[in-house]
Amino acid sequence: MEVQRLDFRVPSLSSLSRPLNRPQKAPILIFKSPFSLPRSIDAKSDSKSSLKSPQFKGFRCRGSFGRTDEDGVSGIEGRPTKKRLAVFVSGGGSNFRSVHEATLQGSVFGDVVVLVTNKPDCGGAEYARNNGIPVALYPKISSTPEGLSSVDLVDYLAKLEVNFILLAGYLKLLPVELVRAYPRCILNIHPSLLPAFGGKGFYGLKVHKAVIASGARYSGPTVHFVDEQYDTGRILAQRVVPVLATDTPEELASRVLHEEHKLYVEATSALCDGRITWREDGVPLIQSKENPDIYS
């Protein structure tokens, strides 16, 4: 597809990939239509080159535009390559922060290379800028030409060579183009035990109010793969949290959120390590890090 280049500057590739242990504010990347990408991160123009996807036990993530070869290692001395993560947020982004901190500590073998948000002033976006992570706006703001279109977003993430996408409190439905470009490569975390209390409109305290009102004795977070609907993708991991008789929605939310932070890091670690396999019936399983013969 032919794209028109606009004459403005964006961060170079070196700034996108600089070490994150030395926080440095990054700007919001706001692209005006028609979409233009940084010259420094253009895909290779060599017609013989190709963007290959990482190979995982049980499935191939064909839409990830990964930088690894089919064995999941880089071409430099056969060493594994960290996965490149895009995180989507709409609010404070506490799960985003947990995952980002885990990448810095080494418990998640990946790097957050971009933060995508529909609210550029939200806490998650501010945290990203303070930690040198570029912030991109999606979708376009209706009153201005700023932000990315659905097609622009897919192209932009491809140029950044993003392997996986993590939704961390992102309230917009992902465009079909993005979901189809990243099959089995997008995770979301939801604050209830899906399929209960999920779907459009179930987010934040609304979920916990509904759980308490139903009389359910248990709740907890769910990590699932993303499809073209709200909260209907295949469940990857869950954590049970008791609902106490005296719980307020805020109290239940606090306990569930505590488990969310741990569960999302564990699931993201498995994704980046290639420890997810798929049963013949389409159910994803996580291979234990300590014992490869055990799945959950």
Cβ 166 vs Cβ 187: under 8 Å = yes
**Pick from 90, 118, 87, 101: nearest CA to 204:** 90
- Can you tell me the distance from the alpha carbon of 225 to that of 77, in angstroms, rounded to the nearest whole number? 32
Count Cβ atoms below 10 Å from residue 211 Cβ, excluding itself: 27
Cβ 205 vs Cβ 193: under 8 Å = no
- Can you tell me the distance from the alpha carbon of 86 to that of 167, in angstroms, rounded to the nearest whole number? 9
Active site residues: 190
How far is the CA of 111 from the CAs of 23, 88, 139, 164, in angstroms?
A: 14, 14, 23, 10
Position of tokens 């035990």? 193
Cβ 167 vs Cβ 47: under 8 Å = no
- Can you tell me the distance from the alpha carbon of 296 to that of 82, in angstroms, rounded to the nearest whole number? 24
How far is the CA of 241 from the CAs of 45, 47, 129, 218, 255, in angstroms?
A: 51, 53, 33, 6, 7
